[in-house]
Structure 1
């Protein structure tokens, strides 16, 4: 699958992908139990979303046993990179600096996160 033909996940699909990226392979029930902690969602809704994700090529489904097991087919880093690039272009008019300033202005970053950002910026300027 090329970058141009890679399906773009919806917000709900991204929530499911986050669970699969974190846990690896899961049943619909396992995914649903995690989703239920944060929002009111029915099991059949989770099942339908995961079936759609399978049709779109976002997840693989192992049907060798009675309980189907799903795993993410899309790479987490590539998906995040694509979505951030799209957000920078569409929301911040192509300015990564504006995105970073907005993110840091709206969320309290820990000292460790700030130190990590500084280190990363130093490495970028030394290239």
Structure 2
């Protein structure tokens, strides 16, 4: 079993966010070379990157998000699932949207493979 670390959903970004979204949506993925890959597709053919790839994020947003917008100040974006309690922010619409879906389905803290986590993620301290 691969080592996992706990991360706040609001801090997820990059491969850890893509992996958590796959888990939230029950999409089968594997990790390799610090990236997230769809299972059943040739490696190199389909990297799962909806947090940065609109062609992957768009259909997910259409199905799972109620609202996706930029904050009035224009520096951050926010997303809302169809359940009013799950609103998340992020530097881009796809990141905010992915975080909102993860929060709705997995909660405010998730365990992600340590191999995907770089220094840009803050781990949640566990007692």
TM-score bracket, shorter-length normalisation: under 0.3
Choose between structure 1 and 2: higher helix proportion.
1
* Higher-RCO chain (CA-CA 8 Å, sequence separation at least 6): 2
Choose between structure 1 and 2: higher strand proportion.
2
TM-score normalised by L of structure 2: 0.27
TM-score normalised by L of structure 1: 0.27
User: Whose radius of gyration is greater, 1 or 2?
Assistant: 1
